[in-house]
Amino acid sequence: MKYLIATALLSAPLLAAAAAGSPDEHFYHSLAEAGIAEVQLGKLAQEKGADQAVKDFGAMMVKDHSAANDKLQALASSKNVSLPNHPSVAAEATKAKLEVLKGNTFDKSYIKSQVKAHEQAVALLQKEIASGQDADAKAFAQQVLPTIRSHLQAIRSLAAQENVQVAGR
């Protein structure tokens, strides 16, 4: 009997995670983590950026991603999906790395991280648009994709101006 109770207690979180693990819920969670990271890193860029263009890009990240995060939170709440209130472990690691850098080294590392983050965000949004089952999530992805694409274009342009080499380029 004790074995059955222990098994049931240990299995419950796994079953709950499996039930909550739909692709659309994964989209909500991944996008929330990314959005939170963008706000945090944008604030860091405003504080530590050496180049005014980096500070300005950081300010745009804070403004645009805060607004998108609020809309995503409202949508997720209407679907009874609880979102994380922290960035992913990878985003936390990026933030920790950037926090110790200064000057031009910070700027170049921030730019590289933003190119990668926005490429990943575009891919996440496109995947939801193409294969998501939740019509509201798909509509949200379609709504924010142009903004994320413009961020990607802006950060790639900044990378070119600052002569920052990004992977795959």
Give the model's pLDDT for residue 110. 98
CB-based burial label for 158 (10 Å; 0-12, 13-18, 19+): buried
Model's pTM, two decimal places? Answer: 0.86
Q: Check: CATH 1.20.1260.10 for 22-161?
A: yes
Give the model's pLDDT for residue 168. 61
Domain spans of the chain, in order of start? 22-161
Q: How far apart (Å, rounded) are the C-alpha atoms in residues 69 and 83?
A: 10
Q: How far apart (Å, rounded) are the C-alpha atoms in residues 78 and 67?
A: 17
Q: What is the mean pLDDT of each run of 10 residues along the chain (169 residues)?
A: 40 39 91 98 98 98 98 96 96 98 97 98 98 97 98 97 82
Give the model's pLDDT for residue 4. 37
